[in-house]
């Protein structure tokens, strides 16, 4: 096959055409899979809190800590964690906002099983005790009503999911209605949707969920413990937020580095810290692929909430997609290497020739610049000479003008004397006559 490009004949075999079409197709599939993977990541709203909070002033990180019940963490411990984070941010001058707003926020939660009732209808639920800005991290779609927060004047308001709403009331329009948990009456502030995605349904489970202020729920459920802590904070350098939260939980990086032992991909601590902001980037996904054989091993007694289980499931899918995308690039990469090798093998130039040619161009450019400087200097000197000639001519003209003025004045002064003399002679002559 012969193709003419700008009057040049390009000989391409049928095999090369097939390879070109194949590589274009593989690259197109590679890009499409990348776009779909990006869309799947963005659909996990619980992993995008930092992106929603981030502004043009700097980058932020969303980090999460999943805590073993062995720690028996309560709100008193949360106060210590917050104090440690604030101390670190203050030491690095990151605790102030130019607009006077908050530079970081956090949330915590814990789950337990409970029973609620309305009249004679009793329902078993998963009660999630929430504190801080929980719904900033997990903006579950509202079907009606509003979220709850620590700033609410009344802490007896709750949010329920649509499964609970239909099971207890047979409707989603139940804002303002009341239910009982033990001897406490709670008012329903909002109803949130449950995603109908199959993977979401698996991670979410079949239980009805209600979201209750942690302080209120802990008073009724003494076994309730905080098992998840989340924060959004400034991240001026890589892993800053991750290290700050680990330090707040007493996991010192220096102590780990001091121990000379091979890296262990398993977590034996009672706290597992995750950097949500970068978990779907290339390097973390690649590390996850390398450590896949350890994924079924959980030496620490740590449970994950449904949003983290969903994120971990998405992590595995992203790893699979990454493997497929890398496989798609094998053929184009090999063809590119072979093409470059062919160009190198059939080259009509040498490295020495390129170096000499480059050197000649440098010398030529230097000579051109020197010629430009010389021409500019000559032009400047010619301009100076021209200005001096103009000044000399101007001075000469001014000198001639001054001489004419002097002569004119002298002529003007001599005229009265001549006239007086003429008058004197004339008078004498008249007297003699």
Q: What is the pLDDT of residues 10-29, one digit of tens each?
A: 567 888 889 999 999 999 99
Q: Is residue 5 part of a domain?
A: no
Question: What pLDDT does residue 426 have?
Answer: 47
Domain range enclosing 157: 45-304
Cβ–Cβ under 8 Å, residues 156 and 185: yes
Question: What pLDDT does residue 106 have?
Answer: 95
When computed from its CA atoms, the radius of gyration of the chain, rounded to whole angstroms, is 44
Please give the model's pTM, rounded to 2 decimal places. 0.74
Q: What is the DSSP letter of 100?
A: S
pLDDT digits 0-9 by tens, 223-246: 899 999 999 999 999 999 999 999
Question: What pLDDT does residue 152 have?
Answer: 85
Q: Is residue 275 part of a domain?
A: yes
Q: Is residue 19 part of a domain?
A: no
Which residues lie closer than 8 Å to 242 by C-beta, 6 or more apart? 61, 63, 273, 275
How far is residue 31's CA from residue 166's CA, in Å, rounded to a whole number? 42
How far is residue 218's CA from residue 226's CA, in Å, rounded to a whole number? 10
Q: Is residue 273 part of a domain?
A: yes
Q: Is residue 286 part of a domain?
A: yes
Question: What pLDDT does residue 256 have?
Answer: 45
Q: Is 361 helix (H, G, I), strand (E, B) or coil?
A: helix
| pLDDT, block means (10 residues), the chain with 433 residues | 51 84 94 93 90 77 93 92 93 74 91 92 94 94 93 90 94 93 94 90 90 94 93 92 93 55 68 92 91 74 90 92 95 92 82 84 90 88 81 74 67 56 48 42
Q: Is residue 404 part of a domain?
A: no
Which residues lie closer than 8 Å to 196 by C-beta, 6 or more apart? none
> What's the domain count of the chain?
1
Question: What pLDDT does residue 159 have?
Answer: 96
Question: What pLDDT does residue 14 have?
Answer: 85
Question: What pLDDT does residue 428 have?
Answer: 47
List phi, psi (to 5°) of 137: -80, -30
Q: Is residue 27 part of a domain?
A: no
Question: What pLDDT does residue 255 have?
Answer: 47
List phi, psi (to 5°) of 229: -130, 135
Q: Is residue 375 part of a domain?
A: no
């Amino acid at each position: 096959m012969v193709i003419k490009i700008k009057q040049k004949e390009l000989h391409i075999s049928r095999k090369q055409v097939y390879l070109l079409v194949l590589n274009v197709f593989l690259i197109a599939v590679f890009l499409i899979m990348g776009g779909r993977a990006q869309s799947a990541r963005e659909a996990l709203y619980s992993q995008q809190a930092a992106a929603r909070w981030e502004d043009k002033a700097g980058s932020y990180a969303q980090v999460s800590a999943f805590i073993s019940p062995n720690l028996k963490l309560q709100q008193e411990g949360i106060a210590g964690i917050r104090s440690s984070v604030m101390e670190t941010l203050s030491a690095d001058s990151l605790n102030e906002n130019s607009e006077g707003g908050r530079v970081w926020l956090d949330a915590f939660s814990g789950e337990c099983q409970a029973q609620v009732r309305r009249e004679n209808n009793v329902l078993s639920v998963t009660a999630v005790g929430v504190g801080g800005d929980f719904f900033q991290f997990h903006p579950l779609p509202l079907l009606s009503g509003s979220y709850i927060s620590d700033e609410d004047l009344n802490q007896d308001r709750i949010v329920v999911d649509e499964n609970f709403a239909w099971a207890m009331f047979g409707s989603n329009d139940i804002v303002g209605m009341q239910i009982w948990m033990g001897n406490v009456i709670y008012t329903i502030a909002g109803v949130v949707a449950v995603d109908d995605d199959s993977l979401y349904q698996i991670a979410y489970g079949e239980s009805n969920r209600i979201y209750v202020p942690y302080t209120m729920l802990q008073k009724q459920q003494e076994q309730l413990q905080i098992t998840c802590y989340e924060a959004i904070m400034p991240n001026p350098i890589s892993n800053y937020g991750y290290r700050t939260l680990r330090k707040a939980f007493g996991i010192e990086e220096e102590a780990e580095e001091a121990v000379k032992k091979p890296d262990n991909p398993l977590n034996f601590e009672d706290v597992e810290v995750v950097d949500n902001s970068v978990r779907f980037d290339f390097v973390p996904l690649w590390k996850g692929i390398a450590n896949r054989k350890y994924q079924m091993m959980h030496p620490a007694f740590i449970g994950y909430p449904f949003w983290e289980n969903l994120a971990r499931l998405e992590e595995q899918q992203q790893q699979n997609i990454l493997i497929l995308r890398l496989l798609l690039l094998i053929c184009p990469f090999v063809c590119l290497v072979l093409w470059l090798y062919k160009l190198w093998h059939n080259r009509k130039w040498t490295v020495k020739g390129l170096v000499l040619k480059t050197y000649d161009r440098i010398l030529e450019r230097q000579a051109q610049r020197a010629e430009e400087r010389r021409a500019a200097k000559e032009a400047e000197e010619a301009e100076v000479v021209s200005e001096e000639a103009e000044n000399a001519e101007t001075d000469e003209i001014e000198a001639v003008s001054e001489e004419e003025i002097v002569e004119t004045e002298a002529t003007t002064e001599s005229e009265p004397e001549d006239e007086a003399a003429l008058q004197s002679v004339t008078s004498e002559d008249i007297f003699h006559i």
